[in-house]
Structure 1
Amino acid sequence: MRKTSLLVALASLFFLFFILMIQSQLEQSSTASVPSIPTENTETTFEQSSILDLNDQESEAIASQVQTFPIQSNPSAKYYDLNSDYVGWLKIGGTVIDYPVVKSSDNKFYLNHDFYKDEHILGAIFMDYRNIGMGQDDHTILYGHYTQSGLMFAELDKFLSESFTNKNPTINFMDPYTKRTYKIFSVHVAEADSNYIKTSFKEDDLKKYAEKLKANSAYPIDSELKGNPKLITLISCNYSVDDGRVYVHAYEITE
């Protein structure tokens, strides 16, 4: 009797585990919930108005000379309306990485919430809460999940291939006002380490820090670090080492 009960219990646990595994795989293969890709700024016109009485002949003559001024609408405005945590849009050639980026008051919320702040196993691409954004940081840090379906930051692993990086050497990040381009100078896998996520530096420490990151690269990458370059680092999980992360480091191209 006890043996039968034990077998039933084990069978029930196995069935529950199987169901959870299937559910996890289905969620992992689901589509990330994000808004549509931003388009180029659209131009509208603003007509200069007159405070004069248009019934007056003189004011009518003035009104006939009214000038129009082009105005560029900011595509980021609609993303702010959807989520006030929006800080920009990340796009990397050769990958599916083409996502909005958000920032919370901590580095936990967007691990399991999507762009719309709904609970989702894929989470969102998010900026380190210590960053300011808008290009003001010495070192911008972006996080995203590794997923079995290849979504979010799973394809950062592609940069572990030297040939792939040579073909896709840049990262594009469009903050609400400026499109910024970064050149990759280091890619490596290592354990989760706070030394890789420093966000502020003193004097020439940033240049020394960048040189250290470059030395840690899994392979040499042709790059030229001048002065104190603005850095960006993309981070995701990597299971080739215990508590591993893949790190992709790049510096802003200013010329």
Structure 2
Amino acid sequence: MGLSIIGIAYSSYQLGFSYATGSQATAEARQIYYSSSEEPAEAKPPEAKRAEARVPAIPAMPSKTTSRLDSLKKITPDVVGWLRLHDTPIDYPIVQAQDNLYYLNRNYKHEESKSRSIFMDYRNRAEEENRHTVIYGRNMKDGSMFGQLKRYADLEFFRTHPAFTFDTLYESYVAEVFSVYYTTTDVDYIRTQFDTDAEYEAFVQDIRERSLYPSDVSLSADSLIITLSTCDSTMDKEAGRLAVHAKLTKLAKEDGAGRSE
């Protein structure tokens, strides 16, 4: 019995240490990312939509995107972006490996971590513009990582958080949410390759129709979209997922005089 108690105590210590390591790594990443240059500018959904939603402007990603990510890439070359949802703890670096398994138990510094990482699907090409970018994160009970995504199932949150910001190696985007729903891994909502425009439009229409709430975000075959995916037990304890889909619009870059390009 004594050995069992020791074993439980040791396991609890390891778990606590793993979570602490993950939190420390996140804090370090934010310090590096936000440490240089001016305050972030504002990123806004199209004015008409923002007026209809009656929500405040959404803080944008910093304008000096590439240099900030370059600083993180010196720590790990796997860093491919940054994700931020205002008024929530979602404010994390995005990493990518050669498969979708590596970062299931590691933080962005390759350290073992129970909180894991926010990571991009290995099928996406981080150095290119993707028609459909897929991002995964753990549904943490303490609300960290993608533990806040479940709040999108609430209509008020859906209305007051119509967009988030997404940074890649070369561009910054505002992402307008157009669909949120519970699903399972049987549904191919994370498809990344499409042979024709018709296939892509059918896919977008399908995920839009699955949404718990309607949205007036306009979409076409030329639209770029992003999906945030996390585990959720609503539909199935093992295969259940929560999906949040958003349309990507590039943020205007400013020159040295503060003019938009």
| TM-score normalised according to structure 1 size | 0.76
Separation in 2, partners of 1:135, 1:170: 22
Question: 2:188 maps to what in 1?
Answer: 195
What secondary structure sits across from 1:228 in the alignment?
Answer: coil
Q: Residues 23 and 149 from structure 1, CA distance in 2 versus in 1: closer, same or farther, beyond 3 angstroms?
A: farther
User: 1:18 and 1:241, CA in 2 relative to 1: closer, same or farther beyond 3 A?
Assistant: farther
Contact 1:188 1:216 in 2 (8 A): yes
Q: Which string of whole-angstrom CA distances, capped at 9 and with x for unpartnered residues, describes residues 111-145 of structure 1?
A: 10111101111111100001002452111000111
Deviation (angstroms), 1:36: 2.3
Given the superposition, is the C-alpha separation of residues 81 and 21 from structure 1 closer, same or farther in structure 2, using an over 3 Å criterion? closer
Number of equivalenced pairs: 219
Task: Give the direction of change, closer, same or farther, for the CA distance of 1:77–1:15 in structure 2 (3 Å limit).
Answer: closer
Mapping 1:111-190, distance limit 5 Å:
111-190=104-183
CA contact (8 A) 1:87 1:176 kept: yes
Q: State yes or no: 1:249 paired with 2:245.
A: yes
Give deviations 1:142-176, integer Å, cap 9, x for gaps: 01111111111110111111210111111211112
* 1:218 and 2:212 are equivalent in the alignment: yes
Identity %: 28
Change beyond 3 A, Cα 1:108–1:163: same
2:25 is aligned with 1:33? yes
Distance 1:212 1:32, change over 3 A: farther
Answer whether contact 2:65 2:171 (CA < 8 A) is retained. Answer: no
Query: What is the CA deviation profile of residues 180-213 of structure 1, one whole-angstrom value per residue up to 9, with x for unaligned ones?
Result: 1111010011112351111011222212211110
Contact residue 163 and residue 177 of structure 2 kept, 8 A: yes
CA contact (8 A) 2:138 2:231 kept: yes
Query: Is the partner of 1:150 in helix, strand or coil?
Result: coil
Larger Rg: 1
Alpha-carbon distance change, 103 to 16 in structure 1, aligned in 2, over 3 angstroms? same
Residue 94 of structure 1 aligns with an amino acid whose one-letter code is D
Question: Counterpart of 1:84 in structure 2: which amino acid?
Answer: P
Q: Please tell me whether residue 79 in structure 1 is matched to residue 72 in structure 2.
A: yes
Q: How does 1:6-17 map to 2 (within 5 A)?
A: none
1:235 aligned residue (229, 232, 236): 229
Asked if the contact 1:206/1:228 (under 8 Å) is kept, the reply is no
Any conservation in 2 of the 1:146–1:153 contact (CA below 8 Å)? yes
2:65/2:172 contact within 8 Å kept? no
CA–CA distance in 2 between the matches of 1:39 and 1:77? 12
In structure 2, stretches of 5+ residues that fail to align are 39-63, 252-261
- 83 and 254 in structure 1: CA distance in 2 versus 1, 3 angstrom threshold: closer
**Which position in structure 2 is the counterpart of 1:3?**
none
RMSD, aligned α-carbons: 2.8
**Partner in structure 2 of residue 100 of structure 1:** 93
Report the Cα distance in structure 2 between the residues aligned to 1:132 and 1:101, rounded to whole angstroms. Answer: 13
Q: CA deviation at 1:17?
A: 5.8
Give the TM-score taking structure 2 as reference length: 0.74
Contact 1:185 1:222 (8 Å CA) reproduced:
yes
Structure 1 unmatched ranges of 5 or more:
1-7, 44-70
